[in-house]
Amino acid sequence: MKRRNFIKGGLMATTAFAGVSGISFPSKADAAGKPFKLNYAPHDGMFKSHAGADFMDQIRFMHDQGFRAVEDNGMLGRSVADQERIGKLLSDLGMTMGVFVVDGGDNWKTSLTTGKQEFKDTFIKTCKQSVETAKRVQAKWMTVVPGYFERKLPVEIQTANVIDAMKRGAEIFEPHGLVMVMEPLSDTPELFLRDSYQAFMICKAVNSPSCKILFDMFHMQRNEGNMIPNITLCWDEIAYFQIGDNPGRNEPTTGEVNYKNIFKFLYEKGYKGNSKKDKEGELAVISAYRECDPS
């Protein structure tokens, strides 16, 4: 979503779970700063009003609030020096790096469905670059999106082209223990990858521990609903979850998704892994995760 702007005219409270294995409200003395039971990973800009614009300061603030992971879609575009500083800080604080995006500049608007070599070459080049970035920031998961539906080709041919590209990516990541997570999206019907079943099928065909699913609950609620049963069906191929209530992609408890039940379900499965502005909105995010965190 150029690709997804988490801060846009206010706080868009999308968070993630960093890895398969983080709110009672922050005003409660026994909850404030206590590590979450699930490994929630806020993103750059989410607590800018409290911590300022510097990502390093935001990471420190996240840690103080009880979060033990962070994600940054734009990590690949940061300088090597910044990546190394972020990696060191996360290590010092005992925090996990969540996803960043395998983004070759125009990858979101080109499509691996076409089978065109130029798109595949760009994807492979960016995967190799991502390996080096992942080492610097101690990341394990990287988001990939196959791109747009190609109307000139049968869907079966498009699927085969995507499987072929994902196999090439997996060959790059697997020796390093890294995992690319494919994300079905709801932004536009023009996108090829739209539901969890489709992603599950591709992962089974690629047959690699380095090709899994990013199950973004906001997008999946919009595209297919029935989330707990669908998570159960696709469980073996899901490596990462992202969160945002619907409508509005705001924090849990603001929309139609019962995140308290979903988080409880994930916690019992063994997975450890905003509508307001400024400081008020940021505190609302923390409160929402404290409220929904498994008791």
| Structural domain includes residue 2 | no
Tens of pLDDT, residue by residue over 88-134, are 999 999 999 999 999 865 555 668 999 999 999 999 999 999 999 99
pLDDT given for residue 284 in this prediction: 76
d(CA 187, CA 108): 12
Per-residue pLDDT at 34 exceeds 80: yes
Q: For residue 8, is it within any domain?
A: no
Q: CATH number of the domain at 78, please.
A: 3.20.20.150
pLDDT tens track for 132-144: 999 999 999 999 9
Lowest mean pLDDT segment, chosen from 20-34, 180-194, 239-253: 20-34
First to last CA, the chain: 34
Residue 6 domain-assigned (yes or no): no
Burial 142-172 (b: 16+ CB within 10 A, else e): bbbbbbbbbeebeeeebbbbbbebbbbbbeb
DSSP 181-225: EE----S-TTBS--SHHHHHHHHHHH--TTEEEEEEHHHHHHHT-
Question: Please, what is the angle between helix 278-292 and helix 259-268, to 10°?
Answer: 50
**138 CB burial (10 A radius; 0-12, 13-18, 19+):** middle
Judge whether 124 lies within some domain: yes
Let me know if residue 167 belongs to a domain.
yes
User: How many domains does one find in the chain?
Assistant: 1
Please report the pLDDT score of residue 1 as a whole number: 31
Kindly state whether residue 161 falls inside one of the protein's structural domains: yes
CB 98 within 8 A of CB 71: yes
Residue 172 and residue 187 in contact, taking contact as beta carbons nearer than 8 Å:
no
Cα distances from 150 to residues 113, 163, 207, in angstroms, run 6, 15, 24
Partner residues linked to 146 by β-bridges: none
pLDDT tens string 180-221: 999 999 999 999 999 999 999 999 999 999 999 999 999 999
* pTM, two decimal places: 0.85
2-8: which pairs have CB atoms within 8 A and are 24 or more residues apart? 2/108, 3/73, 3/101, 3/103, 3/108, 3/145, 4/73, 6/43, 6/44, 6/45, 6/46, 7/45, 7/46, 7/48
Domain that holds residue 166: 15-292
| pLDDT of 31 | 63
10 part of a folded domain: no
Average per-residue pLDDT in the chain?
A: 86
Given a cut of 80, whether residue 14 has pLDDT beyond it is no
Rounded distance between C-alpha atoms, residue 42 and residue 160, angstroms: 34
**What number is the average pLDDT over the span 212-239?**
96
Pairwise CA distance, residues 139 & 98, whole Å: 6
- Does 79 score more than 70 pLDDT? yes
Query: What is the predicted pLDDT for the residue at 251?
Result: 85
Contact, 210 vs 202, CB < 8 A? no
- pLDDT tens per residue across span 251-275: 888 899 999 999 999 889 887 654 4
Degrees, nearest 5: CA angle 136-12-290: 85
276 has pLDDT over 50? yes
Secondary element (H or E) of residue 70: strand 69-70
Look at residue 3 and tell me if it is in a domain.
no
